[in-house]
Structure 1
């Protein structure tokens, strides 16, 4: 699986607009689920990338409005898998197993997205990662 490029995906979805606004603390982005994404204008580039991927996933799934925590978790896991293919995760683990921040930087994701990926490995992925020790 190849890592996705959320900005490239957005370009292909000409009906979706991104507006740069100030959002409440802790809120990186929001979507109406159809054609509009509000993105906090103070985000760092890597945060923008991850937030955009997250909101695009909500749009793909037809989510409108606030979602239940279990739905948010499902979206986070899907996004983490799409942004961090197993091959890239293995490569990052080989040289930086002890430092989540370094690994996240190498994978061009936030530590939170990396954490979601690591916490939701399937058995086969876990075996692959354990074999790199």
Structure 2
């Protein structure tokens, strides 16, 4: 775990995302009705101010993950996409988004608790799927998938 990640973790290792938002007074936050085809969440920064917009239609677990994602963008200095950027930077943006997704998974699903869950459930069921992890931690299945993938990578290394 990095020093940066440790700074944002609370209690038993679970990142308190909504509390973290309140501790960042430079961010204006709103739940909004996003137009069709728009992203479910947006982070934008201008100078020392930032705004995070999240689609109010998202279920709670998706809202949590979306906010966590945008807060990580804030920590890293902004989102990867900028209007008018050359298409050749698409791969760079995709890599940054992937990095952010992995950080979110690490913070919302603490490794020690995930390892404990995997060990316990594997003894009973033989394996564990992202849906079980998602339900246990109150996150979207894609976040659980990322956390399980990283755990497998660590065990394989």
Q: Shared fold (TM-score greater than 0.5)?
A: yes
CA RMSD of aligned residues (A): 2.2
Q: Which runs of 5+ in 2 are unaligned?
A: 1-5, 7-12, 82-91
Counterpart position of 1:11? 22
Task: Tell me whether 58-67 or 32-41 shows the greater mean CA deviation.
Answer: 58-67
Aligned residue pairs total 126
Q: Deviations over 1:17-51 (max 9, x none)?
A: 21222234583211004420010110111111111
Q: Is the 8 A contact 2:73 2:100 kept in 1?
A: yes
Counterpart position of 2:10? none
Equivalent-residue separation in structure 2 for 1:30 and 1:126 (angstroms): 34
Q: Is the 8 A contact 2:27 2:51 kept in 1?
A: yes
Q: Which runs of 5+ in 1 are unaligned?
A: 128-133
**Larger strand proportion, structure 1 or 2?**
2
- Answer with 1 or 2: which has the greater Rg: 2
Give the ranges of 4+ consecutive aligned residues of structure 1 lying more than 4 Å apart after TM superposition. Answer: none
TM-score by length of 2: 0.70
Counterpart position of 2:41? 29
